[in-house]
């Protein structure tokens, strides 16, 4: 815990209150005007700047970007001032840009990191900061711990800009789109006469996926293609219940696939030709299978501990090494950096691939799905049924439960013990990569993860049949309170 401090260069802070800035699995997020204030942003950026300078005392350059949220331009301007005060040259992106485009810009320009103002798929009242290190990867825990320590130290922000740190400007869009054009087979999509609908959900990917498709001669329509800092009045999350406008445009245009991205375009949502919404778990598995076939990549596959075991089955089927990581794409990003995997993904709709950014890329995910449908000539549902015929069926689900302080305290203790049975079934293995994962004799499993920022437990369940999932999910919920 630490006290906010404001120096004269930035004005005075009234009503100073103690707060804490913590970087979770995807950076720091908070409600604007509550914890996400100008003062706290200056403190957070100052902590990042001190870390960057500790790695490169002279000549450091840090990219500053944002999604389209309210006051994003102002936060970028504040960050640029704070960086300059610490002797770091800010490289500012004027327009909203996808998180993966910012990650690629770090790599392409040789910058020493990036500060990205985004709350990703969170509701519009939130904002946040993601920090990427010089490799374009989301900052690992050892880095964010050092940044948090710098912030908690409460050191004064210097009062004037260092000489030779005038802000530079950058447009990451051209070289990011050029990179995607190298990865995705747009010719195959065009030859298949595939019709596509794109929903950027008022977010940072506006003018990205649709521009690439249109320039390649592919018929594409869009919805929600304007800036709206309220994101239509709900979270900019490409989830099933928020994609009705996308479905409507698909019916109107006769499109065979709909692709969507969240607020900062690091997550994806896909709608099949018949309007169904394949789970992100299944999309990752389908693309893994497709990349092995189309690219011949068999160097490995990565998934978080909470992601479907369909990927495990496919890895065994293709003779590919499997890596199971804690939740947080930074761990998968490391494996991409080391070229150990062809693809890595998380059930929360994040993935990236070999030779690309070590960061979630929702734009790429949607375009690869278009390529897969075009080249295989089958819908996503047909592809999933084909894979089920090969390796068996997998039905995953995630639930969130809010806990009272008493229940949370009791349940936290319970998570420290390895149970021998669960709901009358024998526990064949206990996995503690992240939280508590119980694998049962029949191959079904449950994973419990306590939130680090709120009194919530996340339950991930998976069974081999739909009926089995219903039973397992009920037992998993009951087990919390036993």
In a domain, 187, yes or no: no
In degrees rounded to 5, what are phi and psi of residue 313?
-65, -40
Indicate whether 114 and 39 sit together in one domain.
yes
Indicate whether 81 and 161 sit together in one domain.
yes
Q: Which of 391, 412, 427 is the endpoint of a domain?
A: 391
Share of the chain above pLDDT 90, in %: 91
Burial 228-241 (b: 16+ CB within 10 A, else e): eeebeeebbbbbee
In a domain, 447, yes or no: yes
Indicate whether 137 and 167 sit together in one domain.
yes
In a domain, 375, yes or no: yes
Task: State how far the Cα of 265 lies from the Cα of 180, in Å rounded to an integer.
Answer: 14
In a domain, 177, yes or no: no
Indicate whether 155 and 209 sit together in one domain.
no
Indicate whether 410 and 383 sit together in one domain.
no
Asked whether the beta carbons of 196 and 257 are under 8 A apart, the reply is yes
pLDDT in tens, 196-249: 999 999 999 999 999 999 999 999 999 999 999 999 999 999 999 999 999 999
CA distances from 111 to 62, 90, 359 (A): 6, 10, 16
Indicate whether 142 and 104 sit together in one domain.
yes
Query: 308: which 2 tokens?
Result: 């479907």
pLDDT category, 4, cuts 50, 70, 90? very low
Domain tally, the chain? 3
197 sits in which H/E element: strand 195-199
- CATH classification at residue 95: 3.40.120.10
pLDDT at 99: 98
Which residues make Cβ contacts (< 8 Å) with residue 13, sequence separation at least 6?
4, 5, 6, 39
Query: 100: which 2 tokens?
Result: 């993966």
Over residues 424-442, the mean pLDDT reads 95
Indicate whether 385 and 436 sit together in one domain.
no
Indicate whether 74 and 147 sit together in one domain.
yes
3-class state of residue 80 by DSSP: helix
In a domain, 118, yes or no: yes
Indicate whether 419 and 294 sit together in one domain.
no
Cβ atoms within 10 Å, residue 338: 11
In a domain, 213, yes or no: yes
Q: Which of 374, 391, 408 is the endpoint of a domain?
A: 391
Q: Which of 333, 366, 391 is the endpoint of a domain?
A: 391
3-class state of residue 343 by DSSP: strand
Q: How does strand 195-199 pair with strand 257-261?
A: parallel
pLDDT at 470: 96
Specify whether the backbone of 154 is left (phi greater than 0), alpha (psi in -120 to 50) or beta: left
Residue 119 CB-density burial (10 A; 0-12 exposed, 13-18 middle, 19+ buried): buried
Indicate whether 156 and 256 sit together in one domain.
no
pLDDT in tens, 49-87: 999 999 999 999 999 999 999 999 999 999 999 999 999
Task: State how far the Cα of 305 lies from the Cα of 343, in Å rounded to an integer.
Answer: 15
- CATH classification at residue 439: 3.30.310.50
DSSP annotation string for 155-195: PPPPSSPPTT---EEE--HHHHHHHHHHHS-HHHHHHTT-E
In a domain, 186, yes or no: no
The candidate with the shortest Cα–Cα distance to 26, out of 113, 104, 100, 119, is 119
Cβ atoms within 10 Å, residue 225: 15
**Average pLDDT, rounded, for the chain:** 94
The model's pTM: 0.93
Indicate whether 425 and 299 sit together in one domain.
no
Over residues 395-423, the mean pLDDT reads 93
The answer on pLDDT for 453 being more than 80 is no
State the Rg of the chain over Cα. 23
Indicate whether 412 and 365 sit together in one domain.
no
The answer on pLDDT for 164 being more than 60 is yes
In a domain, 185, yes or no: no
Domain containing residue 42: 2-172
């Amino acid at each position: 815990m630490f006290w906010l401090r404001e120096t004269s260069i930035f004005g005075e802070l009234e009503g100073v209150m103690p707060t804490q800035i913590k970087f979770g699995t995807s950076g720091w997020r908070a409600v604007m005007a509550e914890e996400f204030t100008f003062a706290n942003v200056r403190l957070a950026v100052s902590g990042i700047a001190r870390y960057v300078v500790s790695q490169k005392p002279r000549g450091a350059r840090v990219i500053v970007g944002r999604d389209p949220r309210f006051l994003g331009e102002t936060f970028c301007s504040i960050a640029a001032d704070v960086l300059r005060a610490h002797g770091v040259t800010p490289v500012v992106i004027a327009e909203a840009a996808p998180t993966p485009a910012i990650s690629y810009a770090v790599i392409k320009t040789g910058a020493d990191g990036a500060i990205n103002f985004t709350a990703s798929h969170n509701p519009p009242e939130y904002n946040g900061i993601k920090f990427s290190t010089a490799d374009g990867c989301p900052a690992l825990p050892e880095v964010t711990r050092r940044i948090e320590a710098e912030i908690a130290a409460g050191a004064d922000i210097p009062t004037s800009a260092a000489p030779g740190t005038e802000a530079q400007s950058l447009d990451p869009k051209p070289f990011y789109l050029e990179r995607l054009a190298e990865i995705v087979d747009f010719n195959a999509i065009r030859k298949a006469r595939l019709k596509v609908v794109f929903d950027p959900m008022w977010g940072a990917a506006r003018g990205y996926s649709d521009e690439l498709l249109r320039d390649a001669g592919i018929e594409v329509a869009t919805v929600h293609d304007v800036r709206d800092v309220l994101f239509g009045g709900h979270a900019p999350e490409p989830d099933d219940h928020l994609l009705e406008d996308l479905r409507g445009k698909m019916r109107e245009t006769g499109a065979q696939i709909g692709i969507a991205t969240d607020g900062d375009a690091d997550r994806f949502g896909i709608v099949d030709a018949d309007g169904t919404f394949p789970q992100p778990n299944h999309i990752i598995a389908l693309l893994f299978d497709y990349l092995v076939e189309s690219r011949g990549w068999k160097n490995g596959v990565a998934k978080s501990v909470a992601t479907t075991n369909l990927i495990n089955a496919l890895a065994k089927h293709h003779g590919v090494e499997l890596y199971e990581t804690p939740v947080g794409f930074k761990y998968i990003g490391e494996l991409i950096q080391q070229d150990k995997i062809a693809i890595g993904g998380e059930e929360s709709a994040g993935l990236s691939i070999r030779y690309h950014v070590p960061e979630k890329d929702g734009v790429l995910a949607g375009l690869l799905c278009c390529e897969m449908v075009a080249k295989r000539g089958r819908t996503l549902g047909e592809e999933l049924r084909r894979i089920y015929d090969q390796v068996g069926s997998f039905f995953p689900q995630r639930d969130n439960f809010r806990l009272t302080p008493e229940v949370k305290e009791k349940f936290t203790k319970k998570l420290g013990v390895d149970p021998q049975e669960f709901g009358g079934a024998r526990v064949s293995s206990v996995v503690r990569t992240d939280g508590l994962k119980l694998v049962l004799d029949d191959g079904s499993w449950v994973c419990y993860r306590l939130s680090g920022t709120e009194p919530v437990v996340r339950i991930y369940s998976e069974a081999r049949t739909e009926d089995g999932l219903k039973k397992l999910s009920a037992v998993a919920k009951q087990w919390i309170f036993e």
